[in-house]
Structure 1
């Protein structure tokens, strides 16, 4: 559909000519449980004024049955993505009667059948532009309007939307729920959830404001809905934002729904936030997982103001909501919940995402140049989220916290229910702080790349110079043998080289306190200290920053991966912060498979597997560490069979699991998939496991494990399925792709390299962007040469920009692998 990819220029012209007054959307979902029914009736009534006689409404569906303009039915002019409207007056009422399609890709109205009880569940997901898959609309963020939804569904279902229901009318086996009109919002944050969801309710009150709270999930997951913990974080967050934002929560109720086969972590639909079911833990979970969930809850809650109340004009300023939400999620978690170490995880994990993205050839400014929707879809990345949040953390320190929040409050008051750009935000922050932020914005928001900061004799040097306010910590051993900070100095850096006079110490840590956004290097003395005594660093934020510095040095080929692995083996068993531990374990596994030449991999795989297995056995029973090392064992066992007999015996019940280790379904599937990837698990083993866990997640895991088996015919089947089976759901597609590449099976996947590049154009043309992205990224060949990808890029200069971006990024990841391996040798 050539017209599906909306451009910034054409949507700007449309919004200049059209002003939307109101939407009414009627959906008939009564036949949703009938899987033979591919679509549903959707009727949109939209009122708007126009200064042009011609425009279009966006709609991607099965059919448009009729179009009525100001009471007169007109011929349908529909190309599969746009409904052309002609002969408009100044004031218009347009009615579109259409059939939309149920989704299996997580885009639009997703339909899911629970294998446990056969129940059907529906939910919507629209960002950035998939509301048009459910109802006809002006699909762009600045064309806000009130929405009134009416939904007909099977009787007895939970049917929820952004606003509370006004009435419900039962007719036979169906029920029609009419909702109160929303306040003016963008199309992409409207939402519908429908199905026999389990619901738990609570309440939050502040001053004169009373908010009904709801938690919903599938009925079969009700035992895992830890409502008390979820409501606690929710109420803490509402208190925090009430204290700091000075604008009462505007959306009436606050429902949070955990939905299946979700493409995102969560989505900030006002009054109806949706989350991935992965946040409902079927078994044991670490403190890092609970902290991550809390951070996401608070991130989405911040969007009720940053993004929902005040929305960017176009996707160039996506950061106006995502950077703020990422920053506020960490800030609120650290200050309003039990997760007081949230900034440690932010420094060690979220910023790692930003550092990775910012070093790609496709890096972009935080304020990006987004020419169309395909570009917008790919811009939900580490720069927009984590780099932007890091920069906002710096900005809050630069202007002062009081001025920062005063600016935010003024921003909400001046732009409530409207749309903004960078200039609007800088204006209020400048006014409240008394600082001209134009230069700061140019340095941090409107440029690309990152600085690397290091010591050089009596100077601190930085690449890609920017203004930084950094801390330098000086650590020495105390009487107990711990490394503690003896002195702390704050410095301003602006130039490539800044002369300094600083004390000596066994460990000098640049960017101590994580005040700025930059990679840092350890000087030789400090590196030698941490190589011997990293576990003696008492402060978890300092440890996290050190591990981050080490990992960045590995990725840049300046620190041998084997030295990092030696530190991981030595110090990970003593790491007390679960967020740091999970990052170190993941990085170590990645280093072995990506940054070591084949000649070194076999020995390091064995060393690593033996290390994490020993730590699983020696860790405190039922601890976060034990669970983390057991999971790391599963990852390591996918490329080394040394512990296969132990894992098989435990899984089959022939020997006991390590004391205290919860052998829950997720861990069992992780181990079985590892055993499948090395050819140890049999199809009977996997079938037996599925029989014991015949759930949605169990079926997905079984599909992944079956595709992981190291057999040529299995890889051929997985390849064909990923490329041609359009009945696969988004989750099932991921499972097939992951299984295809699992284990030490490059010899089995290499024959498909040429076919991959030959298929790229058709994949992009025929699949939705979400599904195409998964295929393009997931199946990219990880070989020993750049020749094939360079040939494709050279011979396809006119390929869609978004597709080329994905391929260029995967090429860069492979090129880094090859550079680091070469540096090792």
Structure 2
């Protein structure tokens, strides 16, 4: 259901409202027994200095509103805001409304499981979605305790931000909670399968849809063990116990993010309950996500940023602490290496774009603008800087400052300056250079090796000059041996000894920078890279190659050669941020004709020659499927995959999607495959395969989903965008290039929030890498007709497109 338009909260408005109001409590009554809408009665008790203000509210309809027992005109509600005239002292506002169940992963999201028809609900209140669940003063620094009363079907389980009681069938009581910001409030309700446990006096819970129950049970011991280990380590490091009662981890359907740190009830995307074979890398992702959300219980939940532009106080810390604790106390002691493969380039690319921003205090004027800065800089770059800072200060000072911060601002709000003051009180000394040069200035320094001059050159981005000091190693590789030298960089040039052969800058990724390998190093890696046994070093080498490619200083053919010579065995994942998908999606289209076939032969040989059932074999097989152009081969694999490869739902649908792209299947077969195994995951794969077909009907279907003619859940919408643009179907998809730029602005009339930006991203014509597409992109940006969330995604695509064109210009192919 589309959400009514609303106005984004200005920071100046938030400051004024915080000065006027102090919220005492929320009491929320939810009736979840309906199908399209639900009842929401909110009672807010608050203190005011008196005078006008407004309440945030985005209902389907309103039955009644009363302030201090007097009626308020419902027709005053405009653009998600209800103006009210408060009295000095205590005020009580009661709002009785109908709210929308949503299918875009925000507000109160409703999902009907294709596997069994059961209905599930969960709340995602982040940023500006809370007013579609309950009336509120929706800003992070107006915290208050919540009490919730939930009516639900009698076979449902209800979980929230505090321990829940079930006094009679269909009725649940939650709270009062500790003081919470509005964006933390959640309710997870439905016929969920629940696993319960306890650790150190903390009740633990896991839940998933019933169709995933056996898979949750299978992994429950691992999940609960990681949770216990992380609690023990966070308690040891912080000396402050987890204060939110129960700790429930709910794996919910169609979740936009990886997870959300709601106190007492963390929500995760339920792909993290594994119902097909996964690699160790995927399990590390789950483990670090669990630890990340647990870190938030301190960084974010006990102390919350005063305004959205200090969101790094949540995310950078949770990223650093989640990775560190996972590596230190769980079975996944190689977590930092996986982070190098999966997260570093995400942050570096964001930091090199025109849309870059400082880690901290980036001056977001309103809530929507702040959401656009919620990216790899907030996570990966901020985490890297904190890791550097902790190394410099030492654990004793670093954690003493954190404890001081939590203690001074317990259940309140704080800023970056508050945290820095806590560190300085704890013995850190003057941290202004770190704040001024690393946290408050955007951009990444670029490092290149000048062998003739025997210097290392540092070039700050001209738009964001800064005099940052770096310390990192320089490694020389020779016949499998590694020699390192530590360098301190504080100016544009740093003298180096005479370095011959293959040189890797910052091989342990100790600083934050763009490291470009020179020609001699790229050539030398053909011999040296296969000999590298250090997983972290191998990740750093590939990250430097990616940086060089993105700067059009490493040739696509050289990248292909290195992939063939030294398949990145430690990076077995295939999400967009990982190495093999990057080569297949960005490098191969710019490489010499025949390169795709060459990669296919190499990975297909690996499938047959490596250990059956190994992760390397699975990774190679996935790459072989994506690069295959032989329908008969794919059919053979679909009938009988290679020894060691299980034909589970994931493998089956990868094969069907590739067959669809090549025109080797048809809708009837795809429909039958879905009917044979109908789950939430296969429903999404079915959309991807169907829209990948090289037919006009398939592309028209995708476009109807994009424009909102067909109302689609968020995951299926993104899959349709991925299926639409297939590089081998340019003639068929060419008309949609112009249509994208013409019709994109109107999509803000049919969707909002997170999924609005996701759709703009998924449907961008990524297979048309040419000057005309870039010109159209820039013209759309110049027209100033895009919502901020959409504009940010399009601007990032413009930068990516310009970089890909630069690669083609630097390394033309016939």
Q: Deviations over 1:691-724 (max 9, x none)?
A: 2211121122112111110112321232123212
Q: Matches of 1:768 and 1:712 in 2, distance apart? A: 28
Q: 1:447 to 1:730 in 2, by over 3 A?
A: same
TM-aligned CA distance change 1:163 to 1:365, over 3 Å: same
Determine the structure 2 residue equivalent to 1:629. 620
Please point out which of 720, 740, 753 is paired with 2:704: 720
Quick check: 2:757–2:789 contact (8 Å CA) kept in 1? no
Q: Is the 8 A contact 1:678 1:709 kept in 2?
A: yes
Match of 2:632 among 642, 645, 665: 645
Residue 777 of structure 2 is aligned to residue 789 of structure 1:
yes
Q: Residue 287 of structure 1 aligns with which residue?
A: 280
1:5 aligns with 2:8: yes
In 2, are the aligned partners of 1:476 and 1:505 still within 8 Å (CA)? no
Query: 1:158, 1:801 → 2: CA distance?
Result: 38
Deviations 1:209-231 (A, max 9, x none): x1011010001101111101111
Are the structure 2 counterparts of residues 203 and 661 from structure 1 closer, same or farther at C-alpha, using a change threshold of 3 Å?
same
- Backbone CA RMSD of aligned residues: 1.9
1:319 matched to 2:319: no
Q: Structure 1: how far apart are the matches of 2:571 and 2:733?
A: 38
CA contact (8 A) 2:122 2:252 kept: yes
Which residue in the other structure is 1:822 paired with? 809
Question: Cα distance 1:470–1:753, how it changes in 2: closer, same or farther (>3 A)?
Answer: same
Distance (whole Å) between structure 2 residues aligned to residue 519 and residue 220 of structure 1:
45
**Aligned partners of 1:674 and 1:743 also within 8 Å:** no
Q: Which runs of 5+ in 1 are unaligned?
A: 32-36
Is the Cα contact below 8 Å between 2:11 and 2:366 reproduced in 1?
yes
Contact 1:708 1:743 in 2 (8 A): no
Moved more, 769-778 or 310-319: 769-778
**Contact 2:522 / 2:558 at 8 angstroms: preserved in 1?**
no
Larger mean CA deviation between 272-281 and 159-168 belongs to 159-168
What corresponds to 2:583 in structure 1?
Answer: 588
Give, in angstroms, the shift of residue 685 of structure 1.
2.5
C-alpha separation in 1, matches of 2:558 and 2:267: 42
Match of 1:406 among 385, 400, 403: 400
Q: Give the alignment partner of residue 485 of structure 1, picking from 473, 479, 482.
A: 482
Q: Distance in 2 between matches of 1:789 and 1:454?
A: 31
Matches for 1:523-562 after TM superposition, within 5 Å: 523-562=518-557
Q: How does 1:372-387 map to 2 (within 5 A)?
A: 372-387=366-381
TM-score by length of 2: 0.94
State the TM-score, normalized to the length of structure 1. Answer: 0.93
Correspondence for 1:34: none
Q: What residue is the counterpart of 1:564 in the other structure?
A: 559
For the pair 1:614 / 2:615, whether they are aligned, the reply is: no
Please give the per-residue CA displacement for 1:621-670, whole angstroms capped at 9, x wherever unaligned: 11111111121123223xxx13x21211231x2xx321111121011101
Task: Report the CA distance shift for 1:594/1:432 in structure 2 as closer, same or farther (over 3 A).
Answer: farther
Following superposition of structure 1 onto structure 2, how do residues 289-688 of structure 1 map, counting pairs within 5 Å?
Answer: 289-367=282-360, 368-456=362-450, 457-464=453-460, 466-477=467-478, 483-486=480-483, 488-500=484-496, 502=497, 504=499, 506-572=501-567, 575-576=569-570, 578=572, 583-596=578-591, 600=592, 602-637=593-628, 641-642=629-630, 644-651=631-638, 653=639, 656-688=640-672
CA contact (8 A) 1:544 1:580 kept: no
Deviation for aligned residue 1:290 = 0.3
Deviations 1:88-147 (A, max 9, x none): 342101111111010111110011111222111000111112111100000000000000
Structure 2 residue aligned with 1:808: 795
CA shift for structure 1 position 4? 2.7
After superposition, the Cα gap between the structure-2 partners of 1:516 and 1:647, relative to the gap in structure 1 and judged at 3 Å, is same
CA distance in structure 2 between the partners assigned to 1:665 and 1:405 by the alignment: 45
1:752 and 1:580 mapped to 2: Cα distance? 27
CA offsets 1:315-337 (integer angstroms, 9 cap, x no match): 11010100111111111111111
Runs of 4 or more, structure 1, over 4 Å off, are 579-582
1:200 to 2:195 alignment: yes
Counterparts of 1:474 and 1:809, CA distance in 2: 33
How far, CA to CA, are the matches of 1:21 and 1:240 in structure 2?
A: 34
**Contact 1:25/1:42 (8 A) holds in 2:** yes
| 1:506–1:526 contact (8 Å) kept in structure 2 | yes
Deviations 1:325-373 (A, max 9, x none): 1111111111111111111122232111001111111111112221112
Q: What are the within-5 Å matches in structure 2 for residues 168-207 of structure 1?
A: 168-170=167-169, 175-205=170-200
Residue 3 (structure 1) shift = 4.1
- From the superposition, tell whether residues 338 and 762 of structure 1 become closer, same or farther in structure 2 (CA, over 3 Å): same
Instruction: Work out whether residues 240 and 336 of structure 1, in 8 Å CA contact, stay in contact via their aligned partners in 2.
Output: yes
> 1:726, 1:107 → 2: CA distance?
19
Compute the displacement of 1:473 (Å).
Answer: 4.2
Q: Is the 8 A contact 1:257 1:274 kept in 2?
A: yes
C-alpha contact (below 8 Å) 1:473/1:485 kept by paired residues: no
Q: Distance in 1 between matches of 2:553 and 2:637?
A: 41
Q: d(CA) in 1 for partners of 2:382 and 2:649?
A: 37
Q: How does 1:127-166 map to 2 (within 5 A)?
A: 127-166=126-165
Q: Is the 8 A contact 1:466 1:493 kept in 2?
A: no
Return the offset for 1:579.
Answer: 6.0
Q: Which residue of 1 aligns with 2:463?
A: none
Q: Secondary structure at the match of 1:144?
A: coil
Q: Which moved more, 1:322-331 or 1:707-716?
A: 707-716
CA contact (8 A) 2:477 2:503 kept: no
**Contact 1:673–1:704 (CA<8 Å) still a contact in 2?**
yes
**Structure 2 counterpart SS, 1:154:** coil
Count how many residue pairs are aligned between Structure 1 and Structure 2.
Answer: 793
**Residue 526 of structure 1, CA deviation:** 3.4
Question: Where do residues 47-62 of structure 1 align in structure 2 (5 Å cutoff)?
Answer: 47-62=45-60
Residue pair 1:345, 1:579 contacting (<8 A) in 2 also: no
Please state whether the residue corresponding to 1:774 is helix, strand or coil.
helix
Go from structure 1 to structure 2 and tell me whether the alpha carbon gap of 1:735 and 1:176 turns closer, same or farther (over 3 Å shift): same
Distance 2:580 2:411 in 1: 44
> Does the residue aligned with 2:336 lie in a helix, a strand or coil?
helix
SS of equivalent to 2:578: helix
- Decide whether the 8 Å contact of 1:469 with 1:490 is kept in 2: no
Tell me if the contact between 1:348 and 1:580 (Cα under 8 Å) persists in the aligned partners: no
Q: What displacement does 1:804 show?
A: 2.7
Q: After TM superposition, list the pairs within 5 Å mapping 1:236-315 onto structure 2.
A: 236-315=229-308
Q: Quick one: distance in 2 between partners of 1:92 and 1:114?
A: 43
Deviations 1:663-687 (A, max 9, x none): 2101110111011011012223312
Check the 8 A contact 1:616/1:629 in 2, yes or no.
yes
Range moving further from structure 2, 782-791 or 534-543: 782-791
**2:571, 2:579 within 8 Å by CA — same for their partners in 1?**
no
Between the aligned partners of 2:498 and 2:264, the Cα distance in structure 1 is: 54
CA distance in 2, matches of 1:163, 1:2: 32
CA shift, 1:458, in A, is 2.3
Show the counterpart of 1:735.
719
Q: 2: distance between equivalents of 1:580 and 1:44? A: 45
My pick for the range that moved more, 715-724 or 234-243, is 715-724
Residue 684 to residue 610, structure 1, CA distance change in 2 (3 Å): farther
Distance in 1, matches of 2:213 and 2:5, equals 43
